[in-house]
Structures are given as structure tokens and as C-alpha cells.
């Protein structure tokens, strides 16, 4: 995997992935910050796992949202010290057991972003299960 990050101006940079996707990041709050990108990557990576695990289990998932709450160190480098990921999962006939299993497998076995930071960041998870309206 390869990517390039190029300086635009001030503290604005554009990242381009090997697959051709672009994102602008900024250190002055004019675009997503690099740390916000990392936090979103945790949520996206894990959510992909949760949905994929549930679908492979032949569960009818209609919505999945990951609400993230992160704490950072007070002093530089202001690394993440903790991240809580709360999943709101909606579907037909979903069981708490299936959603709990999917969240646990993602956090402990499959989410490469969570697993990459787990030795330095306390990661916790929770979920809410909603029944889809018919």
C-alpha cells in the first residue's frame, strides 16, 4: 500500500492513496485533522467488520453507525489515550448475541486499525440494537 501527502499551503495537505482517492487534511481546523482521520479510520474499519460479520451470519442488517468518543493526552504529543466505540445497529430479527459477537470479533481479531493502536490506547466498545420498522 502506498500514498502521497503533499503540502497545499499554510497547514493544509492533500493525501492521495494508491487507489486514487484524495483527502484534504489541515492543522488549522479548515478540513479534517490527521487525528480525526485516525479516529474515523477506527470507526470505519470496525464498522465494516461488524456489518460483514453480521451479513456472513445471514443477519438482516439495515443500518450501522459507530459513535466514537476519544480522549487525548494533555501534553504533546497529544496521542489518543482512550477510544470508546458505540455501535448502533438496526436490522430485522437481529439478536443481541449476534451483535455482541460481531463487535467483539472486530475489536479483538479483525479490525486492523484498532489492533494497530491497542497497545497504547485503551479501547472499549458498546452497542445498541434497534429493530427495523417493517
CATH of the domain at 57: 3.30.300.20
**Judgement on whether residues 62 and 112 belong to the same structural domain of the protein:** yes
pLDDT at 133: 75
**Judgement on whether residues 26 and 43 belong to the same structural domain of the protein:** no
**Judgement on whether residues 27 and 42 belong to the same structural domain of the protein:** no
Average model confidence (pLDDT) across the chain: 97
**Judgement on whether residues 123 and 81 belong to the same structural domain of the protein:** yes
Number of structural domains, the chain? Answer: 2
CB within 8 Å of 23: residues ≥ 6 apart: 14, 15, 32, 37
Q: How far apart are CA 87 and CA 63, in angstroms?
A: 10
Task: Look up the pTM and report it.
Answer: 0.94
**Judgement on whether residues 47 and 67 belong to the same structural domain of the protein:** yes
pLDDT at 134: 66
Structural domain including 68 reads 34-131
**Judgement on whether residues 27 and 49 belong to the same structural domain of the protein:** no
**Judgement on whether residues 49 and 105 belong to the same structural domain of the protein:** yes
Residues 18-38: tens digit of each pLDDT: 999 999 999 999 999 999 999
**Predicted confidence (pLDDT) at residue 64 exceeds the cutoff of 70:** yes
pLDDT at 132: 80
**Judgement on whether residues 54 and 118 belong to the same structural domain of the protein:** yes
**Closest to 96 measured CA to CA, from 66, 131, 67:** 131
**Judgement on whether residues 113 and 69 belong to the same structural domain of the protein:** yes
**Judgement on whether residues 127 and 104 belong to the same structural domain of the protein:** yes
Residues 74-111: tens digit of each pLDDT: 999 999 999 999 999 999 999 999 999 999 999 999 99
Amino acid at each position: 500500500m502506498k500514498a502521497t501527502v503533499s503540502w497545499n499551503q499554510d497547514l493544509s495537505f492533500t493525501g492521495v492513496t494508491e487507489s486514487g482517492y484524495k483527502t484534504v487534511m489541515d492543522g488549522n481546523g479548515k478540513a479534517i485533522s490527521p487525528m480525526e482521520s485516525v479516529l474515523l479510520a477506527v470507526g470505519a474499519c470496525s464498522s465494516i467488520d461488524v456489518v460483514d460479520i453480521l451479513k456472513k451470519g445471514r443477519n438482516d442488517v439495515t443500518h450501522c453507525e459507530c459513535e466514537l468518543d476519544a480522549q487525548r493526552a494533555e501534553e504533546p504529543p497529544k496521542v489518543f489515550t482512550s477510544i470508546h466505540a458505540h455501535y448502533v445497529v438496526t436490522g430485522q430479527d437481529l439478536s443481541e448475541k449476534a451483535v455482541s459477537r460481531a463487535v467483539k470479533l472486530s475489536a479483538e481479531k479483525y479490525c486492523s486499525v484498532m489492533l494497530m493502536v491497542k497497545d497504547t490506547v485503551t479501547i472499549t466498545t458498546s452497542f445498541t440494537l434497534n429493530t427495523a420498522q417493517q
